Structure 1
Amino acid sequence: MARKIRVLPEALASQIAAGEVVERPASVVKELLENALDAGATEIDLVTQGGGSALIQVSDNGCGMGREDALLCLERYATSKLARFEDLTRLHSYGFRGEAIPTIASVSSFLLQTREEEEPVGTEVRVEAGKLLSVREMGRDRGTTVQVRSLFSHLPARRRFLRSPSREQVHLQRQLVLAAIAQPATTFRFRHGSRGEGTVWPAAAAREDRLASIFGTEWIEALLPVHGDRPGLALSGFLSRPGIGRPSREEQFFFVNRRPVESRMLSSALQEGYRHSLLRGLYPTAVLWLEIDPARIDPNVHPAKREVRFCEEREVWSLVVDAVGQSLGRWPSVAFPAPAFPEAVTERAPAIYRFADRGVSPRFREDEAPPAHAIQEELPPLVGPGRQEGADDPRKGRRPLGVLGSLYLLVETGGGLMLVDQHAAHERVLFERLLSAWESGAGGMQPLLHPVVVTLPARDAAALCEELPVLHRLGLEMNEMGGGAFSVESVPARLSTLDWVPFVQRLAADLASRKGPCAIGRAEAETLAGIVCRRAVKAHDRLSSEEVERLLADLFACRNPDTCPHGRPTWIELSYGELERRFGRAGSPGGCGFLG
């Protein structure tokens, strides 16, 4: 009987493996850059042509290789990074499998030139589609140059799946950016095309300097710093400000122990931190570095090493969400007079109305002017952890002027003109008060006259059972009845009229889907956001000057005064510089003649 099972030829096996490791030219760039960094390179040069399909060349000044190692690196699973399985638990290098070089050589015209410092001459190796063509001695400096030409030329089916050269170039350059961010102490040079203009990112002493050289000084200055620590975990990086987002995740960069990674968990934790600071459909800009004990992660879960698995995913999730939330809450809390802002104002107002200026004769009817004590004395400046030194405080020199469109408060500040959305601002104030009251247990628990019974699927019920003690501390007392049923016995006093059935159902589903330990916080926050939206002042609700002052004071006492709970901006500012630019006055020393 004829055999049906056979061992694949080595060349065919390498080409099959290349389909996992080398998806496109960007994959080649990633592997070669990581090899250069693992070799200790302080300078790396990248040259490409045709979006990487025609040429990819990476040169470095790393440790280089001798003749034997230069030949051995072409063998599959030959590596200097691992000796035993246990080494995976203390891995500090980018590469470790020994697959990249042989698989790249199997699908291209491959040239390797390298020399160790101790060797008098270097070694040059040529390979064509996995077949060794020549090995010779050559003169060169210490380091390694790898040249990859005609990628997938021997595999037309693979080559047809590549995008246009310009599109492939975008993917390729992202890999260069990731490597450059991960290793700011290394100089990177890049040139595309035979006559292309080169780009240089010099070695930087700080991560901020490297980010500024890549994206520009304005890009990094517009971000907020973020920091977080847990036992065995350290998070640092930069985030976009509340309310500012992009339609894609292209400007999100994650690094775990300096390794660029793609992580759904980290991305969703980041988005969770912005849940009430950014409109749905938008994504924040972020550069996050996570340092963790290598024994607590598994980098061997993806053929291209793009992903890592965390042993304690919930702990990492919680760290990211908490750190992001603290960074976005840039304004420290300040005690203000106790009376709460009115729950609703029913008096209707005309489209535009004004407030009297302090110390200036009213320019409208005297009966519209507020009493002298209505405008509070200037509040002491608050500088939150994310506020740039020297930047304008939006409350400095604040003076309400009037209302535009029966919705937007016009406020003169030390920096220009501020427009405040009165509905969004009041939403933020009520939301933080209600959330704080719930989390602190203020108001106590109120037993329900008729307990509410909620029946859940088995998976959701099991997840909810684990969190019942936490919910009890928040004022929500539930008892398990068996068969997936729960009885809601007591609720937070301030939320006694809430429909608790959909709340519990949504909460349990979130917990069961492993969206992280913040599922409770997310469910309660969404609920509170809906409540305050209905209770906050609306457009056309006319506010007195005293109410405007109180609203502004309360808003800027919030942890995150920049957005409403739904992520919409609460205020925007037109700076004097922007106004001068728009009126053509910027840089005009003489102004407009006699008009000034």
Structure 2
Amino acid sequence: ISDALLTVTASDNGMSLTGYVARPYVARNNRNCEIFFVNGHGVNDRILEKAVETAYKPFLMQHRFPFVFLLLALDPGMVDLNVHPRKTEVKFSMGTTVYDFVESAVERRLRDTEHLNVVELAPEKKPEYKPEKEAPEPFETVRSAAVFSPELMKTGTIPQSREISQSLEIPQNRKTPDIPVVRETPDAEVPGESISEARQLDLFEEKLIEPSKRPQFRIVGCVFDTYWIIEYNDRMLMIDQHAAHEKVMYEDFVKSYKEKKVVSQYIDPPVMITLDARQEMVIERHIGAFESLGFEIEKFEKNDYVLRAIPSGFMKLEERDIFTGLLDEMSDTVSDTDEISVIHDRLAQMSCKAAVKGGDRLSLMEAEELLTRLLSLDNPYNCPHGRPTMVEFTEKDLEKFFKRIV
């Protein structure tokens, strides 16, 4: 696991954060590997968990959790360590400040690192035959050790074997991380294995995905009307056109939203929508958010509203569904943070539905444009839902697979 760890060091407003965060491919199925210390005390805290998971969100699929080990130090007046008798829970006096600090530090560290999946083609290798060694039954081993033990001769008690006694020394109430088992060397081969394995580029390797290197990428072709093959020096990339287009659309819209430059597309004719009392309360409470996203809606009469415009770029989708879907999700928000989270989630869904699909045939010119836009992103490696947009094969791995080299 050590090869996958990235160091984190940050400080701001009297707070400091140090420790390690793992690359996204080490993600687990639960939160057991989210380990936090606050002023030297091991804690379980929802604010810290939420901050870290939000930072990892662009890199992980749903229901996957990161591997982190973080130490947060801050002024004792900013945290109450006496919430729980065992000091395993804390209460921050400025929870939003702590959340923003931790989320920003982890996100910045992840974005500064390349996360391109490299596929290693492991050639099939027959396992070596090893004859089984004859060994006494465990009962016989324990009995013989007990019969001839000096301790038995002196005290009359049967000593436990060292292995048994050690296995019983288990700390109580300890949270045991579900640590993945990884190979110490990337080139190691497992007998009998002939499948592809993914690893990720080392921290100190030269970054491949940069806009300045775009002229060196050559599109070779497309397979299954979905995956584009790209040649770059001694490497071959495969790009999923749907995931790539979804990522480009999402990032473009998020950038426009943050810069308040969202372009609206007017509907001709406008769409009439009837809302119930609950939906009317939601639209009144969040009308500013809808307008900032490019929606233009006005009340007609009673509980009827006229939808005149939607965000540009999503004209493939049903206008009514775009609006009512966001409206329903907004109904559960209780804070500005919840509102922003809902907006980002909804943008991801809209981008997924509006993006080109697997099986749709793109022209070479369209593929060239998509590749250029993808390489210009800060995080081009994963779609908004965490799926990889591209994987890499090296020339050396291909030659090993075809046994051109051994």
- The TM-score by the shorter chain falls in which range? 0.5 to 0.7
Equivalence for 1:430: 249
Residue 280 of structure 1 aligns to a residue in which SS? coil
Question: Which residue number in structure 1 is paired with residue 367 of structure 2?
Answer: 548
Letter in 1 for 2:372: A
Conserved 8 A contact 1:331-1:556: no
- Equivalent-residue separation in structure 2 for 1:543 and 1:562 (angstroms): 21
1:264 aligns with 2:46: yes
- Give the 3-state SS of the residue equivalent to 2:392 in structure 1: strand
Structure 2 residue 222 is matched with structure 1 residue 403: yes
1:290 to 52, 55, 72: 72
Counterpart Cα distance in 2 of 1:574 and 1:388? 18
The question of whether the paired residues in 1 share the 8 Å contact of 2:272 and 2:304 is answered with no
Q: Report the counterpart of residue 205 of structure 2 in structure 1.
A: 390
| 1:432-447 matched pairs, under 5 angstroms | 432-443=251-262
Structure 1 residue 425, shift from structure 2 partner: 0.6
What are the equivalent positions in structure 2 for 1:294-305 lying under 5 Å apart?
A: 294-305=76-87
SS class of match (1:274): helix
Change (3 A) 1:398 1:583: same
Q: 1:468 to 1:537 in 2, by over 3 A?
A: closer
Q: Does 1 or 2 have the higher relative contact order (CA < 8 Å, sep 6+)?
A: 2
Pairwise mapping of residues 93-172 of structure 1 onto structure 2 (< 5 A)? none
Q: Distance in 2 between matches of 1:304 and 1:292?
A: 20
| Superimposed CA distance per residue, residues 527-561 of structure 1 (whole angstroms, 9 cap, x where no aligned partner) | 12222222222222222332222212211211211
Q: Does 1:219 align with 2:4?
A: yes
The 3 A distance-change label for structure 1 pair 552 and 445 is closer
Q: Distance in 1 between matches of 2:309 and 2:109?
A: 31
Q: Calculate percent identity across the aligned residue pairs.
A: 28
SS at match of 1:284: coil
Q: RMSD of aligned C-alpha atoms?
A: 4.0
* Contact 2:272/2:305, CA 8 A, preserved across alignment: no
Hey, what does 1:317 align to over in structure 2?
99
Cα deviation, 1:155-181, whole Å, max 9, x if unaligned, reads xxxxxxxxxxxxxxxxxxxxxxxxxxx
CA contact (8 A) 2:262 2:292 kept: no
Q: What letter matches 1:388 in structure 2?
A: L
Report the count of equivalent residues: 305
| Structure 1 position 426, deviation (Å) | 0.8
Q: Deviations over 1:429-473 (max 9, x none)?
A: 11111222222222457898868756449xx97xx95x7767766
Rounded Cα–Cα distance in structure 1 between residues aligned with 2:105 and 2:76: 21
Contact 1:424 1:570 in 2 (8 A): yes
Q: Please state if 1:245 is matched with 2:27.
A: yes
Q: How does 1:322-337 map to 2 (within 5 A)?
A: 322-330=104-112
Distance 2:264 2:207 in 1: 43
Secondary structure in structure 2 of the residue aligned to 1:540: coil
Kept in 1, the 8 Å contact 2:54–2:103? The answer is yes
* C-alpha spacing 1:556/1:300, structure 2 compared with 1 (3 Å): same
Q: Structure 1 residues 508, 239: closer, same or farther in 2, change over 3 A?
A: farther
Q: How does 1:491-510 map to 2 (within 5 A)?
A: 493-494=311-312, 497=319, 499-509=322-332
Distance 1:541 1:505, change over 3 A: closer
Q: Shift in Å at residue 302 of structure 1?
A: 1.6
- Asked if the contact 1:529–1:566 (Cα under 8 Å) also holds between the matched residues in 2, the reply is yes
Retained in 1: the 8 A contact 2:295–2:311?
Answer: no
Q: Which runs of 5+ in 2 are unaligned?
A: 115-200
Decide whether aligned partners of structure 1 residues 283 and 331 sit closer, same or farther in structure 2, where only a CA change above 3 A counts: closer
- Cα deviation code 1:84-127 (max 9, x no counterpart): xxxxxxxxxxxxxxxxxxxxxxxxxxxxxxxxxxxxxxxxxxxx
Question: Conserved in 1, the CA contact under 8 Å of 2:380 and 2:389?
Answer: yes
Give the conservation status (yes or no) of the 8 Å contact 1:452–1:500: no
- 1:566-581 matches, within 5 Å, as 566-579=385-398
Q: Which runs of 5+ in 1 are unaligned?
A: 1-214, 333-385, 480-484, 586-590
Matches within 5 A, 1:466-481: none
Residues 318, 518 of structure 1: 8 Å contact kept: no
2: CA distance, partners of 1:487 / 1:298: 49
CA distance in structure 2 between the partners assigned to 1:471 and 1:534 by the alignment:
19
Relative to structure 1, is the Cα distance of residues 251 and 579 closer, same or farther in structure 2, using a 3 angstrom cutoff?
A: farther
Measured in 2, the distance between the counterparts of 1:306 and 1:314 equals: 20
Q: TM-score when scaled to structure 2?
A: 0.62
SS in 2 for 1:265: helix
Q: Distance in 2 between matches of 1:453 and 1:318?
A: 36
Q: Which residue of 2 aligns with 1:21?
A: none
